[in-house]
Structure 1
Amino acid sequence: MTTFRNELSETDTSHDVDLPCLLFVDDDRDIQIAACLLFQRRGIKILSAYDAAEALTVLASHPVDLVLLDLNYSKGARSGAEGLALLKDILVLRRDLPVLVVTGHSGVSIAVEAMRTGATDFVMKPWNNDRLVSLVTSVLEKCGRNHGSDAEPVLIAASEAIKRIVTEADRIAPTRACVLVSGPSGVGKMLLARRIHALSQEAGPVQSFSAEDCDDLPEEGGVWICREIEALSPTLQRRLTDRLDGSAPPRVIALTSLDPAALSAHLQPKLMLHLGMVRLVLPPLRERPEDIAALASHFLHYFSVRHGLPEPECDTSRIAALQAETWPQNVRELRAAIERVVIMGEWQISANKAANQTPELQTLRDTEKSLVEAALRRHSFNVTQAARELGLTRPALYRRMARYGL
């Protein structure tokens, strides 16, 4: 496991919360050590990250006032694409966080592109120490201290499947198109929706609501994130369609756990035309083992900092064990499991029975009872939502609940 810390423990000043904190993202360890010496001697704490994943974990876990961002992290990389992608992730997580881009091989043109993306300024390698410290100091004075300790949860994209979805979301984010985000519960639909809004051209706040609890539509336009869109009543579906047909329609980002075919059975065809303009489907966590490994690393560090506890070690065998689990509640369940590991200080994760145990045979009755009970628990015993997931009517679900004593 990667440990996020100051490079020079003997000069560590991280205990002093009054000092400004700088995050330096660069894959070169020698440059990291030089930067730590430079800034710590001038009363600025510095944290190190060597790639995009580590940088996002540090930002989610530590109070950072400024980011010094190199643009290339892979061996032989010179295009700056890695850094530009990370810059976008940083601005999604902390929109007002100042970012100073460090460029060498990538040149001035990529630095200018970074400025257009949202970077505050840039410096060239090799830098002049006094000028760099002066620039960092002036930016900190200008931007003030805003740690953003309650930052949004991080959208981790390690697998190619999620990277493709994020790329498509980023591409359509600046448009006004409605978006339908589907996927099982706990997979990260809300995180993706908030990312789309953060990268959009909308200046105002987003309005988020659940269709099931919705008695009327918001009066103002802007961006609406509607959870469980399938639960929208027929009357509100007609009103929403009329709003979307109007001259100043809201931008709706609709979230659902249903697949498109099942959703079409709940929504009126004209509304589906609007909402289905762009469809993003997030796969379950069990289908993307690379994300399981990256998320485990992220949550281990995040919760160790949050609870002030040592970060448990995580070797390849433990990662393999995590990847062997099915994670019915996806990222939400993995997050809770890793937090438990940090709190208890030991690895006791078993969403399924151990691999060396022979599972007991279940009758059809046992299987149906388990499915019904699991669906009810996932939806906090909301009968309407559980029935919808199981493909049952409410009376049919009530009969099964009575049959199995649920």
Structure 2
Amino acid sequence: MTDSPSGPTLLFVDDDIDIQSAARLLLTRRGFHVLAAHNAPEALTRITAQNVDLVLLDLNYAPGATSGAEGLALLKELLALRPHVPVIVVTGHSGVSIAVAAIRAGAADFVMKPWSNERLITLLQNTLQNRRGAPSEIHGEQPFLCGSDFMRRLLEKADRVATTRAHILISGPTGTGKSLLARRICAHATDDVSSLSIDGESCEALPQGGDVWVIDGIERLTPPLQRALADRLDSATAPRIIALTGSIESDPTKFHPALQLHIGTIHIALPPLEGREEDIVALARHFLRYFAARHGYPEPALDDDHLSALAARPWPQNVRELRQVMERFVLRDEVNDTAALVPGTLSPGTLVPGTLAPGTLEDAERSLIETTLRRHGFNVTRAARELGLTRPALYRRMARHGL
């Protein structure tokens, strides 16, 4: 990794390269470390990969866009990922009305184009001094990204119900992003509510507090706990449930009938990654930018042969596996993966050496856990956080696989 800058880090999101260059020159002279992003995907990657103290956010990125809708949508995503990072929106064509809408959506302030350099610097400095909450810290949170129309519609459904009190069941194979989607729903809820994370496998008693319960592996709750939860949900003070499960259709007998009625109000089924070419490409590009920034490595290029190989290969561990493959791709010098950069040398299942090969789910899970533990120097806490498990749940899986 490169040395951390001494001054505050500012992320400037604007599609105009000339404006980016002028702003970088001005802000660097005034002691800021400037990160550039030219669109929403780059901005989301930057803010998840690096510590950011402040965001300067233009509201339009597509050619000819003047509505500010792109920027307002990105503002929502940024605040969900980093609620304590102040965002100052930049508006020109969109006008003051959009700036006011951004303030209502959570922006700290706004500046009009063309701006006065001195006024901009004063605004940035005052915003940093008045920042609420703790400084931004990287904690592994990732945005829920997609590239296909199908997944965008699914995400729109999740965002729409996020502001309600309806219980939500999120199902899907391992590694498809169920926990990420649950955290997104919690972040997009309008009420200031407290949430609790519950591991169904290790839960021994239902908690007493919390407005929202995110229950991972709800089908692993014991039958008495499932019955108790169903009874709790009949009460007027019941918590909102966001339940995560591998597949409710595969074995519906795992659920108490009364509980299934409650949690099945809204069902969001995440599909496997295999065959979703547009989503694979969008996620691969995001992870390349993310790990290049995290490790201080240059971002490798993906040509058509690379993308075709990624789209064609099986993904038994879904997005979680793609993330690992892209990290190895960025770190090719450390794993002697020079062949992976040569066009035409890739074939399905061999993008990088050492990645998970198709096999049984047990073999895939063991390989994933072992790889994650090694990456974190067998620090169970960090490995469990990356895998989306509690420490007790990870210990049980380690014991089951003899790790």
Q: TM-score, normalised by structure 2?
A: 0.82
Amino acid in structure 1 at the alignment position of 2:55? V
Asked if residue 153 in structure 1 is aligned to residue 142 in structure 2, the reply is yes
| Aligned partner of 2:224 among 232, 235, 250 | 235
Say if 1:50 and 1:226 are closer, same or farther in 2 by CA, change over 3 A. same
8 Å CA contact retained: 1:300, 1:342: yes
How many angstroms does 1:24 deviate by? 0.8
Q: Which residue number corresponds to residue 398 of structure 1? A: none
Between 1:192-201 and 1:301-310, the stretch displaced more is: 301-310
Q: How does 1:272-311 map to 2 (within 5 A)?
A: 272-311=260-299
Equivalent position SS for 1:310: coil
Asked if residue 185 in structure 1 is aligned to residue 171 in structure 2, the reply is no
Say if 1:173 and 1:159 are closer, same or farther in 2 by CA, change over 3 A. same
Q: Which residue number corresponds to residue 164 of structure 2? A: 175
* CA deviation profile, 1:291-337 (whole Å, cap 9, x unmatched): 21122122122222323333322222211211111211101111111
How many angstroms does 1:380 deviate by? 4.3
How many angstroms does 1:226 deviate by? 0.9
Distance in 1 separating the partners of 2:348 and 2:308: 14
Asked if residue 375 in structure 1 is aligned to residue 342 in structure 2, the reply is no
Asked if residue 219 in structure 1 is aligned to residue 208 in structure 2, the reply is yes
| Aligned partner of 2:86 among 74, 94, 98 | 98
Larger Rg: 1
8 Å CA contact retained: 2:194, 2:210: no
Say if 1:353 and 1:134 are closer, same or farther in 2 by CA, change over 3 A. closer
* CA deviation profile, 1:325-359 (whole Å, cap 9, x unmatched): 121110111111111122233354765379xxxxx
Equivalent position SS for 1:287: coil
Distance in 2 separating the partners of 1:224 and 1:136: 38
Gaps in structure 1 of 5+ consecutive residues = 1-13, 355-369, 382-406
8 Å CA contact retained: 2:84, 2:136: no
8 Å CA contact retained: 2:24, 2:34: yes
Between 1:64-73 and 1:306-315, the stretch displaced more is: 306-315
Give the aligned length: 351
Distance in 1 separating the partners of 2:98 and 2:141: 28
Amino acid in structure 2 at the alignment position of 1:377? D
Distance in 2 separating the partners of 1:64 and 1:96: 10
Q: How does 1:57-206 map to 2 (within 5 A)?
A: 57-143=45-131, 146-206=135-195
Distance in 1 separating the partners of 2:22 and 2:287: 29
Asked if residue 22 in structure 1 is aligned to residue 10 in structure 2, the reply is yes
Say if 1:265 and 1:302 are closer, same or farther in 2 by CA, change over 3 A. same
Distance in 2 separating the partners of 1:269 and 1:46: 55
Distance in 1 separating the partners of 2:233 and 2:266: 15
Say if 1:149 and 1:312 are closer, same or farther in 2 by CA, change over 3 A. same
8 Å CA contact retained: 1:178, 1:277: yes
8 Å CA contact retained: 1:66, 1:98: yes
Distance in 1 separating the partners of 2:349 and 2:303: 20
8 Å CA contact retained: 2:309, 2:348: no
How many angstroms does 1:250 deviate by? 0.9
| Aligned partner of 2:317 among 304, 329, 347 | 329
Q: Which residue number corresponds to residue 47 of structure 1? A: 35
Amino acid in structure 1 at the alignment position of 2:256? Q
Say if 1:197 and 1:98 are closer, same or farther in 2 by CA, change over 3 A. same
How many angstroms does 1:204 deviate by? 4.7
Amino acid in structure 2 at the alignment position of 1:252? I
Asked if residue 250 in structure 1 is aligned to residue 243 in structure 2, the reply is no
Q: Which residue number corresponds to residue 397 of structure 2? A: none
Say if 1:35 and 1:353 are closer, same or farther in 2 by CA, change over 3 A. closer
Equivalent position SS for 2:83: coil
Equivalent position SS for 2:254: coil
Gaps in structure 2 of 5+ consecutive residues = 341-345, 352-356, 368-403
Say if 1:353 and 1:91 are closer, same or farther in 2 by CA, change over 3 A. closer
Asked if residue 352 in structure 1 is aligned to residue 352 in structure 2, the reply is no
The percentage of aligned residue pairs carrying the same residue is 50
Say if 1:202 and 1:378 are closer, same or farther in 2 by CA, change over 3 A. farther
8 Å CA contact retained: 1:221, 1:248: no
Distance in 2 separating the partners of 1:321 and 1:143: 45
Equivalent position SS for 2:186: helix
Amino acid in structure 2 at the alignment position of 1:18? S
Asked if residue 208 in structure 1 is aligned to residue 194 in structure 2, the reply is no
8 Å CA contact retained: 2:146, 2:279: yes
Amino acid in structure 2 at the alignment position of 1:72? N
